[in-house]
Amino acid sequence: MASVVLTALATSCVDESYADEASVTLAFSVDTLSFDTVFVTVATPTHAVVVYNRGSRDVLLSQVTLEGGRESRFRLNVDGDTSMVAHNVEILSGDSIFIFVQANISPNDATQPFVVEDAIRFSNGQRLPLSAWGRNAVYHRPTDTLHYADGTVPLDAYGNPYAYSVIDCDGWRHDLPHVVIGYAVVDSRNTLSLVAGDELYFYNDAVLWVYDSATLQVHGSAEQPVIFTSVRQDGWYSFLPGQWGQVWLSAGSKDNVIDHAIVEKGCFGLVVDTNVGPNPTLTVSNTEVRHMSYTGIEAQGARIVGSNLLVYQCGLADLWLRAGGDYSFTGSTFGGYWRYGSRQNATVVVQNFYYAVGGVVVPRDITRADFTDCIIWGTYPDGELLEQQVDEAAYSSRFVHSIVKGGEWDIDPLFVDPDENDFHLQDGSPAAGIGYQWPSE
C-alpha cells in the first residue's frame, strides 16, 4: 500500500503546464552569433542573443550549454546563470530570455586571422552557432612607472601615472599587429621603423611615445598604409573618437617621418613638440588623421613639413600650431566637421605664443606658417582659420591658392558628403586639383 502512495505523490509533482520540450521550436534573434576580429588572450565585448518562445505553452529547458564544454573559448550567461550548464531554464509562452556570450581566444602560431567556432546547445535539440575571428598579436604592456628623483609620481594629461614599456625596436615584428597598453616608448637614440602593413592598436589612453633623441620612421604604401587605431573595431566603436591617447613626438625627438599612414579614433592624433635639429621634427605625407576628440595634429614650437594630408572630424581643431615654430603644408585638406556636438573654435589655429602656468602669455616666433594648394573648410560659422598674434614675437603666414572659409578665397569646395566623411570633390568643384589627392582607386 505504501508503494502505491509514493507513486501517486511522485506523479503529482510533475508540472504538466509545461510543453514537452522536445516538441518546442525556439526562435533566435540571430542565425549565428558572430564576433568581429579580436586579439588573443583578451576577452571580447559581450554580445547578446534573444531566445523566443512563440508557442502557446510555457517551456522548461532542462539544459542550456556549450557544445565545446569546458574547453570552449566562449562563455555564457543564460538569463543570469553563469554556470557552464544552465539547468531548468524557463521561457514563458510569448516571452523570451537573453543569453550573453563572450569569447576569449587562445594564442597559436597563426600570423593571419583565424576562426574559432562553437554552438549553444539547447535540450530541445536546437543549436545556435557561435563564431569569432581571432588574431595573434604582440603586446606592449607596462613594466615600470615613471618617477621623479624625489619619488613622486607625475601624472599625464589623462590623470594617470606614466606606466610604460620600452619598445625593442630592432626586434619589432612586422608579421603581427601590435597592441599598446599604457605608454610604449621609443627610447633615446633608437629608431622605430614601421613598414607597409604594420598595424598598431591602442587601449584606453595608450600612447606611442617617441622620446628625446629618438626617431619614428613610418613608410607605408597606398595599398597598405600603417594603421594607428583603437583595439575596439566593432559597432559604433569603428569610428568613435577618444578611445586612446596619441602618437607623441616629444621634445628632442628628431627626423621623424610619416608617409602613408592612417591615425584614427584617439584623443589627439599627432602631437609634435619642440624642434631641436636642422631637419624638420616631422615630415608627414599621404596620411589621414581622423576622428579625434581633441586635435588631429598639434604642434608646439615644432618644425613640420606636411603634404597630401586629410585631417577631419576633430572636436577641438584639425590643426593647432602654437608656441611658435616653422610649418609648411601643401596639397592638404582640413575638414572642420564634428558630429558629436558643436565646436567652439576654428579648425586651423595658429598662435605665436603659449600660456604658461597661471595664464601668463609667453611669446614664441612663428617663423613660417605656409599653406599652398590647401582646403580649410567646415561648419564653424565664424570661419575655419584663427590666427592669434602677440607683438612680442614674430609672425609670418601665407595662403597660396588655398580655399579658406573666412579667408581671401572663401568659396565652398563642394565635398561629396563631408557629414559622412566623404571628402572627394564633386564634379565642377572650384577646388579641383588642390587639397588631398586620394591614392589610385
pLDDT in tens, 227-280: 999 998 888 888 899 999 999 999 999 999 999 999 999 999 999 999 878 899
Give the Å distances, CA to CA, from 168 to 184, 253, 315. Answer: 10, 17, 34
In the chain, the percentage of residues whose pLDDT exceeds 70 is 96
pLDDT of residue 4: 38
pLDDT in tens, 9-44: 334 444 568 999 889 999 999 999 998 888 888 888
Give the Å distances, CA to CA, from 167 to 170, 397, 432. Answer: 9, 38, 43
- Residue whose C-alpha is closest to residue 262's, from 291, 232, 233: 291
Residue 174 DSSP code = S
C-alpha to C-alpha distance for 22 and 206, rounded to whole angstroms:
51
Q: For residue 111, give the 3-state DSSP assignment.
A: coil
Angle at 337 between CA 333 and CA 338, to 5 degrees: 140
For 192, the grid coordinates are 622605430
Helical segments of 199-319, H only: none
In sequence order, what E strands does 68-182 have?
Answer: 74-78, 85-91, 96-103, 114-122, 127-135, 138-140, 144-145, 163-166, 178-180
pLDDT of residue 312: 97
Q: What is the amino acid identity at position 41? A: T
**Beta carbons within 8 Å of 57's beta carbon, 6+ residues apart:** 17, 18, 19, 93
C-alpha to C-alpha distance for 128 and 90, rounded to whole angstroms:
18
C-alpha to C-alpha distance for 350 and 335, rounded to whole angstroms:
16
pLDDT of residue 123: 95
What's the whole-number mean pLDDT along residues 186-193?
Answer: 97
Q: The whole model's pTM is what? A: 0.87
Q: For residue 371, give the 3-state DSSP assignment.
A: strand
pLDDT in tens, 355-371: 998 889 999 999 999 99
User: Is the pLDDT assigned to residue 7 strictly greater than 70?
Assistant: no
pLDDT in tens, 113-153: 889 999 999 999 999 999 998 899 999 999 999 888 888 98
- Asked whether 281 and 296 are in contact (CB, 8 A), the reply is no
pLDDT in tens, 47-100: 999 999 999 999 999 999 999 998 999 999 998 888 889 999 999 999 999 999
- Asked whether 237 and 243 are in contact (CB, 8 A), the reply is yes
In the chain, the percentage of residues whose pLDDT exceeds 90 is 78
User: Is the pLDDT assigned to residue 169 strictly greater than 80?
Assistant: yes
